[in-house]
Each structure stands twice: as structure tokens, then as C-alpha cells.
């Protein structure tokens, strides 16, 4: 959903929040929410990964999926009680971890719970993240039968040497077979993830990865620059000198290469790392409907261990460890670990730096109407410096990142934190 549309569909008197924690989740925003479902299991940990994951164990996965269905029941009932009807949802996103590692029937049970306890719209976008090493023909058929209509495939690289270095469990052949199998099964909305700036990656290697990805004509591409996070194996490897430090200048060149190659191939860059193929159907956008919720201040509810939620005013996060999450849901229906109520300024500043990720930027007048904040008056001096550094533009009433600003976005976002 475009930012401007979001603002248009947001009433001014439609947020009713109370201080009582038991009733602070009132959802009265007339923007349709999304559901995120976290499946934490992975065959093994990739070297760069700092997500909340755990080793795949069949018995635990079965109990976990039951717990997620129970948590969906809890939240569906709670929100329906506050709204006097089931809450409408138009996106469901299975993320992880590796959602494709669990039995398809387990995901179908979770989806059935979503449909029972939320009002899932007929045209809902339902995405599953897939690791190519975990695919089977039976799973594909069962996913489609359950209503999953979008596949986000974690390719990361088409070069086996890079996949081995990342400790991925698939090879390039499996990646290609996965896309072919998804197409043959009838998936019409496929997104591929690639990572740029891997240790020892050359421009030639990245060019090859881009070329292979674009040849497949996925509907969507998520192309991320590698971030080395503390606590990951890669972080330790670099610290021990086993791998070179990432080269920022090279990363900038790889980013420029991806923007140029995708544009030439007919993809629209709509977010810092996300590119959508121009749709053949005039009114159908191939942007990620679910991820747009994060960038456009739309509520989303996260189910599963470590999942985050936002209802328009409160943010909360579930308990991280898988076993503890299962126990907590069994005891109390939900598994909130921590929650925070945003004040007006926090809500506005978060909305700014999330919306700035989008290429279309922010309509300043509409923002002022919605959030009561004049961005130029509040951050004028800092924004002027960013404009001088060619990181942002303010034109025709819109604040946007420039191409250079998208590469150095964290510098701009610092203004608002
Ligand atoms: S498959 Fe994804 S979630 Fe699992 S360890 Fe690798 S990067 Fe992390």
C-alpha cells in the first residue's frame, strides 16, 4: 500500500488506546493489518545470521506449531472482542528461521487457525519463506492447497563457493530446481533474496548473481547488502582474521550495479533493498504487500517466538526461546516478553524513518495532517545538511532519499532517533 494511500485511509479519530495493559491492544485503525508467523527452525545456522533460530527437531516443531495456532486463537479472540467482529487481515507471512522445513500440514493447521480467528480477505497475500534444501513436490502441492500464493526463496548466491562460505544448506543447482519446481507447481508470485558484499565477493561474482536472478524473471527481488552483526559466526571469523573486513567502497559499487541492472530489466525499486517487476495486470502491484505494512505505519501482529507486533500505538515482542514460548502460550495464551507504548513523537519519528525507506518518500503536508508534526520545522537544520550532502531531496512537497541516500540511509535515519 502506497504511503499516500495509507494516509488517505487513516482516520484521525480512529485510535483508542488505554493505559490498562489488558486493554491497550484496541485496534481501531482502518488500515488492514497483517499477520507475521515466525517458524524458528533451521537445519543449521548460516554464518551471517542473527535471527532468532533453533535447530530443527521434529517433536519440538510439532508442539511449536500447535502453540502458534493457540496464540493465533488467543489474539484473534482478544482483538475480535475489542472490535465486536473478527479482525480483517490481508497479508500472512511465514518467516523464520525456515518455514519450509516443517510439515506442510503443520503450516496448513496454522493457516486454518488464522482463517478461523481472523477475517482473512479473499485476495490476501500469503507468503512463505523457502530454503531450497527443504523442498519436496508434496510440500508444494500442500502449500498451494492451503492458500499460500507467494514464495520468497532464500537463494543468497548462485555460486557454490559463496554458498559454502555462508554455510547455506543448498547449492546453486538446488536453487535453480526450486524456482523451476515452484513455477511448474503454479506459483505466480516469486521473490528471490540475494546478498551483496559477501567476504571475497568480486564485482564479477555479483554481476553473475544478478544475471542469474534476472534470467529467472522473479516477480520480486530483495537484494541486501551484507551487514556483519555482532554475535554471528561471520563476525568472529572477521575478528580472528579468517575473513576480510567488508569493503564499503566495493559495497557501494555493488549496490549501484544492482540498481542499474534491475532498472534495465524492468524492475521498479520501491524500497532501499526491494524491487518489483512491473506488473502486466494494470492494477496489480508486485510489491510485497506484507512488508509495506512495516514501512507505512500499518498494524501487524506477530505470532511465534521472538515475533514483533505493532497495533498503531503499542509495540511488543514475544519471548525468544522456543521452548519457553511454547510453555508460556500453554499457560496464558500469549507470550509477550516486553511491550512499549509509543508517544506521539516516537510514533511520528518511527513513521518517518520507515517511510523514508520507500522510494516515493513522504508527502510532507499529509504527514503533518496525520501526525501533527511539521518535519521541516522540526528537523530543518539536520535535513539541510543531508540535502547539502545529497542524501535527501525535498521537491514538490515530498521528502525522499536520493540514490546516494539509499546507500547511506543509516546516516539519514540517525536524524530521527
Ligand atoms: S536459513 Fe535463514 S534464518 Fe536459518 S540460519 Fe540461515 S539465514 Fe538464518
Q: What is the pLDDT of residues 256-284, one digit of tens each?
A: 999 999 999 999 999 999 999 987 776 78
Tell how far the Cα of 98 is from the centroid of ligand 1, in angstroms. 7
Same domain, 97 and 157: yes
Full domain range(s) for residue 400: 343-417
**pLDDT the model gives residue 281:** 74
- Per residue in 389-403, pLDDT (tens digit) is 999 999 999 999 999
Same domain, 10 and 139: yes
Mean per-residue pLDDT for 53-72?
98
| Last residue within a domain, chosen from 295, 310, 333 | 295
Tell how far the Cα of 374 is from the centroid of ligand 1, in angstroms. 41
Mean per-residue pLDDT for 231-243?
95
Same domain, 263 and 366: no
Same domain, 348 and 270: no
Query: Is the minimum distance from the CB of 131 to ligand 1 under 6 angstroms?
Result: yes
Other beta carbons less than 10 A from residue 310's beta carbon: 20
Same domain, 112 and 225: yes
Same domain, 224 and 371: no
- Domain for residue 354, yes or no? yes
**pLDDT the model gives residue 11:** 27
**pLDDT the model gives residue 28:** 32
Question: What distance in Å separates the CA atoms of residue 41 and residue 249, rounded to the nearest whole number?
Answer: 35
- Domain for residue 315, yes or no? no
- Domain for residue 304, yes or no? no
Pairing of strands 41-42, 54-55: parallel
Mean per-residue pLDDT for 360-367?
96
DSSP annotation of 133 reads: G
* 21 or 223, which is more confident: 223
Query: Is the minimum distance from the CB of 97 to ligand 1 under 6 angstroms?
Result: yes
- Domain for residue 303, yes or no? no
Tell how far the Cα of 275 is from the centroid of ligand 1, in angstroms. 22
CATH code, 363: 1.10.10.920
Query: Is the minimum distance from the CB of 133 to ligand 1 under 6 angstroms?
Result: no
Q: Is the predicted pLDDT of residue 10 greater than 50, yes or no?
A: no
Query: Is the minimum distance from the CB of 174 to ligand 1 under 6 angstroms?
Result: no
Q: Is the predicted pLDDT of residue 334 greater than 80, yes or no?
A: yes
Same domain, 270 and 368: no
Query: Is the minimum distance from the CB of 288 to ligand 1 under 6 angstroms?
Result: no
Query: Is the minimum distance from the CB of 98 to ligand 1 under 6 angstroms?
Result: yes
**pLDDT the model gives residue 417:** 83
- Domain for residue 321, yes or no? no
Number of C-alpha atoms within 13 angstroms, CB side, residue 48?
20
| Last residue within a domain, chosen from 279, 295, 311 | 295
> Model-level pTM?
0.91
Same domain, 266 and 355: no
- In the chain, the number of structural domains is 2
Tell how far the Cα of 43 is from the centroid of ligand 1, in angstroms. 9
**In sequence order, what are the residues at sequence separation of 6 or more whose Cβ sits closer than 8 angstroms to the Cβ of residue 121?**
32, 88, 89, 90
Same domain, 151 and 250: yes
Whether the bond between 33 and the residue before it is cis, its omega within 30 degrees of 0, is: no
* 83 or 44, which is more confident: 44
**pLDDT the model gives residue 56:** 97
Same domain, 14 and 134: yes
CATH code, 92: 3.80.30.20
Q: Is the predicted pLDDT of residue 88 greater than 80, yes or no?
A: yes
**pLDDT the model gives residue 274:** 98
The ligand 1 atom nearest the CA atom of 49: 8
Ligand 1 atom 3 nearest Cα: 97
Cα dist. 243→46, 72, 248 in Å? 15, 43, 15
- Are 200 and 165 in contact by the 8 Å Cβ rule? The answer is yes
Same domain, 66 and 192: yes
Q: Is the predicted pLDDT of residue 19 greater than 70, yes or no?
A: no
3-state secondary structure 72-117: HHHHHHHHHHHHCCCCEEEEEEEEECCHHHCCHHHHHHHHHHHHHH
- Are 156 and 165 in contact by the 8 Å Cβ rule? The answer is no
Question: What distance in Å separates the CA atoms of residue 256 and residue 59, rounded to the nearest whole number?
Answer: 46
- Domain for residue 265, yes or no? yes
Same domain, 202 and 287: yes
**pLDDT the model gives residue 174:** 96
The ligand 1 atom nearest the CA atom of 168: 6
Q: Is the predicted pLDDT of residue 170 greater than 50, yes or no?
A: yes
- Domain for residue 323, yes or no? no
- Domain for residue 332, yes or no? no
| Last residue within a domain, chosen from 238, 261, 295 | 295
Average per-residue pLDDT for the chain? 91
The ligand 1 atom nearest the CA atom of 48: 7
Amino acid at each position: 500500500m502506497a504511503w499516500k494511500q495509507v494516509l488517505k485511509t487513516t482516520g484521525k479519530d480512529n485510535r483508542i488506546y488505554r493505559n490498562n495493559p489488558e486493554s491497550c491492544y484496541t485496534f481501531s485503525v482502518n488500515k488492514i493489518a497483517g499477520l507475521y508467523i515466525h517458524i524458528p527452525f533451521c537445519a543449521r545456522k548460516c554464518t551471517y545470521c542473527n535471527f532468532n533460530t533453533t535447530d530443527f527437531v521434529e517433536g519440538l516443531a510439532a508442539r511449536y506449531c500447535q502453540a502458534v495456532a493457540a496464540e493465533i486463537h488467543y489474539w484473534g479472540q482478544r482483538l475480535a472482542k475489542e472490535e465486536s467482529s473478527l479482525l480483517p487481515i490481508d497479508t500472512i507471512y511465514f518467516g523464520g528461521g525456515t518455514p519450509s522445513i516443517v510439515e506442510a500440514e503443520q503450516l496448513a493447521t496454522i493457516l486454518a487457525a488464522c482463517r478461523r480467528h481472523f477475517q482473512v480477505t479473499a485476495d490476501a497475500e500469503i507468503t512463505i519463506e523457502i530454503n531450497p534444501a527443504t523442498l519436496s513436490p508434496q510440500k508444494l502441492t500442500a502449500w498451494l492447497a492451503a492458500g499460500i500464493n507467494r514464495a520468497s526463496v532464500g537463494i543468497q548466491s548462485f555460486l557454490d563457493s559463496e554458498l559454502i562460505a555462508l554455510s547455506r544448506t543448498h547449492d546453486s543447482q538446488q536453487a535453480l530446481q526450486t524456482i523451476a519446481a515452484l513455477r511448474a507447481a503454479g506459483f505466480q508470485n516469486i521473490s528471490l533474496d540475494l546478498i551483496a558484499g559477501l567476504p571475497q565477493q568480486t564485482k564479477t561474482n555479483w554481476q553473475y548473481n544478478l544475471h542469474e536472478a534476472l534470467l529467472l524473471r522473479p516477480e520480486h527481488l530483495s537484494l541486501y547488502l551484507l551487514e556483519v552483526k555482532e554475535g554471528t559466526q561471520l563476525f568472529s571469523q572477521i575478528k580472528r582474521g579468517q575473513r576480510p573486513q567488508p569493503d564499503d567502497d566495493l559495497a557501494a559499487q555493488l549496490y549501484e550495479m544492482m540498481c542499474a541492472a534491475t532498472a534495465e530489466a524492468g524492475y521498479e525499486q520501491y524500497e532501499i533493498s526491494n524491487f518489483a517487476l512491473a506488473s502486466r495486470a494494470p492494477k496489480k502491484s508486485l510489491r510485497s504487500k506484507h512488508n509495506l505494512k512495516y514501512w507505512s505505519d500499518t498494524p501487524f501482529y506477530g505470532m511465534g517466538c521472538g515475533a514483533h507486533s505493532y497495533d498503531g500505538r503499542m509495540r511488543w515482542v514475544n519471548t525468544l526461546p522456543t521452548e519457553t514460548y511454547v510453555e508460556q502460550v500453554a499457560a496464558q495464551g500469549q507470550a509477550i516478553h516486553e511491550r512499549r507504548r509509543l508517544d506521539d513523537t516516537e510514533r511520528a519519528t518511527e513513521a518517518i524513518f520507515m517511510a523514508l525507506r520507500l522510494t516515493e518518500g513522504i508527502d510532507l503536508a499529509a504527514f503533518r495532517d496525520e501526525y501533527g508534526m511539521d518535519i521541516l520545522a522540526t528537523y530543518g537544520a539536520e535535513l539541510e545538511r543531508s540535502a547539502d550532502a545529497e542524501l535527501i531531496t525535498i521537491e514538490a512537497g515530498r521528502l525522499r532519499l536520493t540514490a546516494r541516500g539509499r546507500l547511506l540511509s543509516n546516516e539519514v535515519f540517525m536524524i530521527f532517533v
